[in-house]
């Protein structure tokens, strides 16, 4: 199921999660039951979930059959009342989800799609969207992501490689600052070789 949260799971995945927890509790509660009696059905369910995930990736019809499809709730600023009735979704529920998307007027919405996981995706009308740098004709510097290269005195070589840096650069920085690695609580760095050091509290 990957790193998705409970709210992002499909219906079939959520059902299998509950089934696994129920089956796992049987040999725990009843000591006379062998452990294998719980492990075998759990393994079968896990295999079924993997097979279903592969089928859903390969076959769009099977995915629509098991997970359903997205529904266009608002189309070009017009509310689709029939689809709301099919989903048994009230206006209060719709407005509640719109408010969670920082939309407080349905007139500001150009398109709204109800996804298969029950969340609402909203695209505001052009005049209601905040301007960005390209709209204003402004050139902004490229943003870079900071990675934690030292945590509690331990070097993270993987984070250094993501920054395209190495230990030689790190040693040079620490020597220039006259800081011992054991004194560092957190050190972050990015591809532009900008860094930030937070020392441990004494």
For 49-90, write each residue's pLDDT tens digit: 888 888 878 877 877 777 778 889 999 889 999 988 988 888
d(CA 172, CA 194): 13
d(CA 146, CA 194): 9
pLDDT category at 147 given cuts 50, 70, 90 is very high
Measured between its terminal Cα atoms, the distance across the chain in Å is 43
Domain 71-128, classified CATH 3.30.240.20, yes or no:
yes
Task: Look up the pTM and report it.
Answer: 0.57
Q: Where are the domains of the chain?
A: 6-67, 71-128, 147-199
Paired tokens of 200: 């441990």
Q: Is the pLDDT of residue 7 over 70?
A: no
Class of the domain covering 147-199: alpha beta
71-128 shares its CATH topology with 147-199: yes
């Amino acid at each position: 199921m990957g790193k998705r949260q409970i709210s992002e799971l499909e219906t079939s995945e959520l059902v299998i999660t509950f089934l696994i927890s129920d089956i796992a509790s049987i040999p725990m509660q009843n000591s006379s039951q062998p452990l294998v009696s719980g492990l075998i059905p759990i393994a079968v369910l896990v295999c079924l979930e993997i097979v279903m995930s592969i089928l859903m990736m390969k076959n769009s019809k099977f995915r629509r059959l098991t997970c359903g499809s997205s529904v266009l709730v608002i189309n070009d600023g017009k509310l689709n009342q029939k689809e709301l009735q099919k989903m048994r979704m009230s206006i209060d529920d719709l407005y509640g989800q719109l408010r969670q998307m920082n939309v407080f007027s349905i007139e500001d919405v150009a398109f709204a799609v109800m996804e298969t996981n029950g969340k609402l995706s909203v695209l505001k009308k052009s005049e209601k969207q905040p301007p960005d740098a390209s709209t204003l004709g402004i050139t902004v510097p490229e943003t870079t992501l900071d990675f934690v290269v030292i945590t509690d005195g331990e070097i993270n070589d993987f984070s250094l490689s993501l920054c395209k840096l190495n230990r030689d650069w790190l040693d040079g920085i620490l020597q220039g600052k006259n800081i011992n690695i054991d004194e560092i609580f957190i050190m972050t760095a990015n591809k532009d070789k900008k860094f930030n050091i937070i020392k441990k509290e004494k």
